[in-house]
Amino acid sequence: KTIEFTGALHATVVKQVCLKNPSSKTLMYNAILVGRDADDFSLPKGNTVTIAPKKKTSITVEFTSRFLRPAEAALLLVSKTVGGINGATLTFSLKSEIKHIEPADILKCKSPCYEL
């Protein structure tokens, strides 16, 4: 699954990844961001996720753009053993797209175009 982060240059975009536990045992995951632009993505609520039996939870992923080029990374959710139960490793592709640029400031200058 691909999660797309679309916004303005230097803006922070927040996305939620919903996880469901269909089993009758608690699942625990360690979240890891990897890839070329992994430093531009963050997990503000920490990198450990616990999902109670038959429940849903969500992971918050933030992206702050620094460049005009698209950023790419991957979110890996690696299962930790809880009571002898392991969940499947989950992978999400993270991609960004800059839709517009907000000016930081506007400067007005006067200058002669040509002098002899």
CA distances (Å), 71 to each of 6, 89, 96, 99, in order? 11, 23, 5, 13
String of DSSP letters for 38-63: GGGEE-TT-SEEEE-TT-EEEEEEEE
* Res 90: pLDDT: 92
Q: Are 75 and 17 in contact (CB under 8 A)?
A: yes
Write down the domain spans for the chain: 2-100
pLDDT digits (tens, 9 = 90+) for 10-63: 899 999 999 998 888 888 999 999 999 999 999 999 999 999 889 999 999 999
Q: Which helix (H) or strand (E) holds 75?
A: strand 72-80
- CATH architecture type of domain 2-100: Sandwich (2.60)
